[in-house]
Amino acid sequence: MCKFQRQSKFSKTKKNLLITAAFHLFGCTTMQVTENGNEIEENDSQVIAADPYEGFNRTMYDFNDSLDSYIFGPVVDGYKWVTPDILETGISNVFMNMKGINVFLNDFLQGKLQQGAQDTGRFLLNSTVGLGGIFDVATYAGLEPNDEDFGQTLAVWGIPKGPYLVLPVLGPSTFRGIPGVVIDTAANPISYLAWPVAAPIAAMAGIDKRATADSSLQFIDDAAVDRYVFTRESYLQHREYLATDGEQEFSDNDLLEDFDDEEGEDLLSGSSDLNVTDINKDEQQQSLDIAAETEGKLKQSQASQDSSGEVKTENADSVQSEKNSPAFKEAVRSFNKATRTYQEASDKLETIKKGDQL
Amino acid sequence: MINKYFSWWLFLLLTSSITFADVSKADLSAREVVADFQAELLDTMKQGESMNFDGRYKKLSDPVINSHDLTKIARIVVGKEWKIFTDEQKKTLVKIFARLSIASYAHNFKGHSGEEFKFDSEKKTARGGMVIHTLLKIPGDQDVKLDYQMKKKENEWRIINIIANGVSDLALKRSEYTSILKREGFDALLAKISGKIEQYSTQE
């Protein structure tokens, strides 16, 4: 019995959480406190330091989102509709098994010898007894899968993650993630097949990856009030969790402690009208109107920002010095150009969509 | 005469039960607060499929309010903006945030297929808090690590943050809310939270 078939709504949601984590990641929102205990510009500077290219990233995020809504999403919906669950699981297992080579290589690169031996055994068992990875017999034999990649290896080696970056098609990453993607691709057997064979397999791998992420994308839609920020923070947090094998310190613990001296009154005490059905519908409609209006204004301001060709690079002190270098200016110019290109592509997709609706 | 005695009995009964309830709540360890809350969640999950969203919302309202410090959480997730809100705005925010928290649980914990919560370990934090490490065991799937950050509110331990597989709910919400406040303002934040509650209440 395939394990995906027996999941309840609840476990699906929780799995989303896992996959979201496996797919995304955490800007440590540590809060800085001055000597007298007051917050300084707290997470503003931290967030900007983690995401100095927010303007570019948001454009790229919208582009990927449009691409997903109009191309990848429908393709994957079709794939899931025509493919029996058991076959879908088998295909997914095969691609996961291929990634197994990369997993055990990175185990050894990180000095995890015992885990490396287990993951090697897992790969060999699934490749042979599991008929090329179709059946995940290793898990039943007690060899649970591990999640390792070259990005995590670089983290273990002490390479700083650098700013957050949304890559076209590939999605959330960091500067450190770019060499990670290159090496991970090189460690995947598909990369060494002749292109007429590799192309359909790579396309299938892409469809499988998107299908696996389907529930996590649904989870983002479900939980986020700002999808871009939610994706960025969950991506960065989970990458930190993976890189430290879940042993990271609670960096936001300080975030709680800073409020110790501000107990204040309990503003919820005596609230007897928390029934969700008591929300005034007019008030809610008014709020939704405000949201629509502000969203419109925001898009307008983004459009004017993009047309001026400027990438939003509000900077923390840490990136100020980099701004003065020719390489940085060149990178900003490239980003501006790429931003405009992707903005145009997004607009075209929107136009196509509107055309379809008419 | 009977009425008089009855009134006294009622008075004694009420006061004693209040006193008893206060003492027992204050005596609960951080671990017990988490365990009690998880037991409520599990019970809701088991009954979830026979209840609609409103039923789950009502069932979970008190357990969420009594185990979480929602005022403090609401204050933390809006960052430094809290200080410039009016009293009315603060009250509105806390109330709508409480609704969101309950609605979020009612939306997510609506079915059961053998899941269970398991205590793993506990640790004191540097300044008097506690972290309770638990696991959500899902049959046929990997465990989800759920870590509860606890702080004392007066004499009672309250949940301040939940970290699921390394992703901190508090840090996530803080990033989202401060970003919205900075870009779009207080009304827009309220509108988005209202929209989310509406979404939860209409999706089954």
Of B75, B80, B165, the CB nearest to A42: B80
Residue A114, burial from CB neighbour count under 10 angstroms (0-12, 13-18, 19+) = exposed
Compute the nearest-CA separation of A200 from chain B (Å): 30
DSSP string, B133-167: EEEEE-TTS--EEEEEEEEEETTEEEEEEEEETTE
- Token pair 């204040």: residue: A264
Compute the nearest-CA separation of B190 from chain A (Å): 7
Minimum Cα–Cα distance from A295: chain B residue: B184
pLDDT in tens, chain A (358 residues): 333 333 343 344 444 443 333 333 222 333 333 333 333 344 455 556 678 999 999 999 999 999 999 999 999 999 999 999 999 999 999 999 999 999 999 999 999 999 999 999 999 999 999 999 999 999 999 999 999 999 999 999 999 999 999 999 999 999 999 999 999 999 988 888 888 888 889 899 899 888 888 878 888 888 999 999 999 999 999 999 999 988 766 554 555 555 555 556 777 776 656 766 554 444 555 555 555 555 555 555 454 444 444 444 444 444 444 445 565 566 556 656 666 666 676 676 666 666 655 5
C-alpha span between B114 and A7 (Å, rounded): 10
- Token pair 């002490």: residue: A158
Least confident of A58-62, A281-285, B67-71, B136-140: A281-285
C-alpha span between A64 and A349 (Å, rounded): 11
Residues with Cβ within 8 Å of A84's Cβ and at least 6 positions away in sequence, in order, are none
C-alpha span between A220 and A213 (Å, rounded): 11
Residue B68, burial from CB neighbour count under 10 angstroms (0-12, 13-18, 19+) = buried
CB contact under 8 A, A225 and B188: no
Q: Is B10 on the interface with A (CB under 8 A)?
A: no
Tokens (6 digits) for A161: 């993650």
C-alpha span between A252 and A60 (Å, rounded): 28
> B162's torsion region: left (phi>0), alpha (psi -120 to 50) or beta?
beta
Tokens (6 digits) for A158: 């002490």
C-alpha span between B194 and A288 (Å, rounded): 8
C-alpha span between B52 and B110 (Å, rounded): 9
* pLDDT beyond 90 at B19: no
Interface of B with A in 16-75 (CB under 8 A): 45, 48, 53-54, 57-58, 61, 65, 70-72, 74-75
User: For residue B132, what are the β-bridge partners?
Assistant: B122, B148
Tokens (6 digits) for A73: 């999403």
Q: Is residue A33 within 8 Å of A258, Cβ to Cβ?
A: yes
For B140, phi then psi, to 5°, come to 75, 10
